[in-house]
Amino acid sequence: MTSTRLIRRALIPAAIGSLLGLAPIEAARGQDPSNRREPSPAAGRPSSAADEMRSIDDEYDRQMQGLERRRLERLAQLAARQKPADAAATYERLFRLAVAANLFGDAEAPARAVLEAGSPSPVVLGLAYTVRIIAEVDRGATEQSLETLRRAIADRREAANAGAPGVELPTDEAVEICDAYYQRLLQGAHYEIAAKALRLLLEQTSRPALQEFLSSRLKRLEVVGKPAPTIRGVDLDGKPFDLAELKGKKAVLLVFWASWCLPCQAEIEALHAVDETYRARGFQVVGINLDPLSAADPKNASASLLPNVRRFLLDNNVTWPTLVNAEGDRDYAAAYGVTEVPANVLVGRDGTVVAIDLVRKNLDQMIARQLGR
């Protein structure tokens, strides 16, 4: 089996902006709300310096979002009374700000207006589709988001056939934007819709890098609903581990990580929380370290990298079993289609993969569902 190539997962906003090459997104990347920490119930009475800083940040973020919402509203009002050429510039500004601030719902109405009335600017049309698709996913209209994607594809094809000018999105940006749509669908466990969307996009592109990205995501989705691939080996404490032995006994969260991955470390708090909450009810966290995949010589990297791996586990008080990825039948990353970190896979008690790439927003909920509330 060929060794998996490992990359960092991009930290991108939840935007699909012009996934079809209709409009480049140059706005600053905002934080995906699904990965933000929820405000503490005791925000008014912080119990530690960290809680107090979090409370300050949360209050600041709320105030900033309020200002951005008012700005979007005023820009929409301005665009509505302008002539088409002037309105195009205003709408472009509005949509870029919405993308940067992750305020897609606040810009959905102007986006719909643009798509129904048309615009002389292909950039604005692309941004309008971006905003509308993500806004639909955010409010739970995932089937509608897929239909909007189909409409975007059809409109782009029709414009190209008519010789209308288009805007080619740089490949790396297209990859990030497609991934944003994909990640949002995953967070809602809409795996079938995600697969359909990826296939639609794969049919539309001839760019090798984008094809590779879309194909890898489709492969990742293939494990969902199927028996979990074999994970058998010896953990870092020298104890044998076999995932198959937990079938019928425990739900298992496989966590793929690397010691150099800062987002992996940021997830530790949430992993400790679910481990402590559900361990007694038949839940097990299992770590899969992928440090060897980032080494120049993966075959001989394990021994030299072990000190870094052990230090990470010690510093973060990790007590659950951890196996190190290797080649052949111990290339667990390849078996699960993992090419980036952080990544995780939830395996149900029946040994079937039920979810992938859970985040704070849905991690607790999905585990509880598997264990039965």
Of 370, 174, 188, 140, nearest in space to 274 by CA: 370
Sequence-distant (6+) residues with CB within 8 A of 91 are 75, 79, 110, 114, 119, 121, 124, 127, 128
Q: Which of 195, 129, 137 is nearest to 159 (CA)?
A: 129
What is the predicted pLDDT for the residue at 19? 45
> Who wins on pLDDT, 50 or 20?
50
Does 172 or 284 have the greater pLDDT score?
A: 284
Give the model's pLDDT for residue 1.
40
Over residues 323-355, the pLDDT tens digits come to 999 999 999 999 999 988 999 999 999 999 999
Listed residue (363, 223, 209, 236) closest to 303, CA to CA: 236
Lowest mean pLDDT among 32-41, 189-198, 216-225, 362-371: 32-41
Of the chain, the percentage scoring pLDDT greater than 70 comes to 83
The predicted pLDDT at position 54 comes to: 83
Under the banding of pLDDT at 50, 70 and 90, the label for residue 372 is confident
Flag whether pLDDT at 250 surpasses 80: yes
Indicate whether 178 pLDDT > 60. yes
Which structure tokens are listed for 221?
A: 């989705």
Question: Does residue 163 sit in helix, strand or coil?
Answer: coil
Look at residue 160 in the predicted model and tell me its pLDDT.
Answer: 77
CA dist 158 and 150 (Å) reads 12
For residue 167, name the pLDDT band (cuts at 50, 70, 90): low
pLDDT of 14 over the 60 cut = no
What does the pLDDT read at residue 295?
66
* Choice among 40-44, 69-73, 132-136, 195-199 with the minimum mean pLDDT: 40-44
Only one residue has tokens 């569902």, namely 369
Q: Which two tokens stand for residue 89?
A: 């510039």
Q: Which of 3-17, 239-253, 355-369 has the lowest mean pLDDT?
A: 3-17
In this predicted structure, which of 203-207, 235-239, 249-253, 308-312 has the lowest mean pLDDT?
Answer: 203-207
372's torsion region: left (phi>0), alpha (psi -120 to 50) or beta?
left
- Which long-range contacts does 148-155 make (Cβ < 8 Å, 24+ apart)? 149/19, 149/197, 149/200, 149/201, 150/200, 152/19, 152/20, 152/22, 153/20, 153/200, 153/204, 155/125
pLDDT number for residue 352: 97
The model's confidence at residue 278, banded by pLDDT at 50, 70 and 90, is: very high
The predicted model gives 81-96 an average pLDDT of: 95
**pLDDT band for position 161 (50/70/90)?**
confident
Rounded to 10 degrees, what is the CA torsion of 141, 146, 150, 156? 80
Nearest residue to 196 via CA among 258, 146, 263, 248: 146
pLDDT score for 180? 81
Average pLDDT, the chain: 84
Other CB atoms within a 10 A radius of the CB of residue 2 amount to 7
The predicted pLDDT at position 117 comes to 94
Strand duo 240-242 + 251-257: pairing? unpaired
Domains of the chain: 7-222 (1.25.40), 232-371 (3.40.30.10)
Residues near 94 by beta carbon (within 8 Å), at least 6 away in sequence: 72, 75, 76, 79, 107, 110
**Taking 60 as the threshold, does the pLDDT of residue 158 lie above it?**
yes
The amino acid at 321 = P
Lowest-pLDDT range, 31-40, 46-55, 125-134, 227-236?
31-40
Tell whether the model's pLDDT for residue 283 goes beyond 90.
yes
What local confidence, expressed as pLDDT, does residue 368 receive? 94
Confidence category of residue 8, pLDDT binned at 50, 70, 90 = very low
- Residue 49 pLDDT: 77
